[in-house]
Structure 1
Amino acid sequence: MKGVFMEEKPVKATMIERLFRTFNLLKEKVDSSGQIRPRQIVILRYIHKCPNHRTTISNLARHYQITDAAASQMVTYFEKKGWVEKVRTEFDRRVVYVKVSDGFMAEMKEKFTQMMEDVNNYMTYLGPKDALALERILEKTIRYMEDETPEEENV
């Protein structure tokens, strides 16, 4: 099935160039905005999903299979950014919990709202026909990549 639709090299080269350009534009937009990285969002989401929306540094280290020192550095970085707060319990002041800050949660809600507005603007720009085509192509691309990944790993 390889090469059924795109036999000419110039067409393939153009498609590859457009994909690279698209990815680079997306990367530039995210990097230049100083936004939080996806991995950081995953970690903060994990903290927020913990019981009482908090966890210890040791639990973070254990969950992400990193050292306590690395987890501590990560939490310190997040704390400087204002993304998390350290909380002590009244019962045992030696135990320190980490929780996602209320300010960060509000900021993420605002960013999510902005992202949805950006997507809506883009879909309006595309128009209904192209928006549906893009959705179909992205779904098909995801299925292709998910199906191809296991074979590539076995090679």
Structure 2
Amino acid sequence: MEKEGVPKAIETIKSYFMLQDKYFFENLKKIHNFTIRDYMVFHYIHVENPMHQVQPSKLAQYLDISPSAVSQLITNYEKRNWVKRVHSDTDRRNVYVSLTNEAHELMIERLPFEEVQIRKVISKCSTEDISAFIRVLSLINQQIPIEE
């Protein structure tokens, strides 16, 4: 038997994802002509990798796409002056992808924008609501399996 409130919770979570897509990613697309995938790639290179560069094979794993699709993606980003291929200083056979200065600036500009927007939305909630949100979202996140 399903717990009381589960259907409402499912609909609320779906609405949250749709709102997030509309509010954050549609604005991102309007401002910088980015797609969600573009943002994911930039975020992965810029935030999740301390050296701000990544091997194409790691990017393929992260995006769950083929190496040839990543190569095509990188080529398209190079044409837009968003990424560049960098050879390792120690082994020229190793190639990394890093953000260009232009793309790096876009990320630096974009990350605070998101936080400002989130703060604006959260500021309208009570302390109790924020605590409940954190608690519930943490519980949900713990249930989501993450494959490494």
- Smaller-chain TM-score bracket: 0.5 to 0.7
1:64-101 Cα distance to aligned partner (Å, 9 max, x none): 3643x433311112123332135689xxxxx9764311
Name the TM-score, length of structure 1 as normaliser.
0.62
Determine if the alignment matches structure 1 residue 106 to structure 2 residue 105.
Answer: yes
Work out whether residues 45 and 53 of structure 2, in 8 Å CA contact, stay in contact via their aligned partners in 1: no
Name the TM-score, length of structure 2 as normaliser.
0.65
Q: How does 1:1-155 map to 2 (within 5 A)?
A: 3-4=2-3, 6=4, 11-33=5-27, 34=29, 35=34, 36-37=36-37, 39-41=40-42, 43-45=44-46, 49-50=50-51, 59-61=55-57, 64=60, 66-67=66-67, 69-86=68-85, 98-143=97-142, 145-146=143-144, 149=145
- Given the superposition, is the C-alpha separation of residues 22 and 46 from structure 1 closer, same or farther in structure 2, using an over 3 Å criterion? closer
Identity within the alignment, %: 20
Q: Return the index of the structure with the highest Cα Rg.
A: 1
Structure ranking higher in helix proportion: 1
Unaligned segments of structure 1, at least 5 residues:
90-94, 151-155
Comparing both chains, which one has the higher relative contact order based on Cα–Cα distances under 8 Å and sequence gaps of 6 or more? 2
Query: CA RMSD, aligned part only?
Result: 3.6
Unaligned segments of structure 2, at least 5 residues:
89-93
Q: CA deviation at 1:136?
A: 1.0
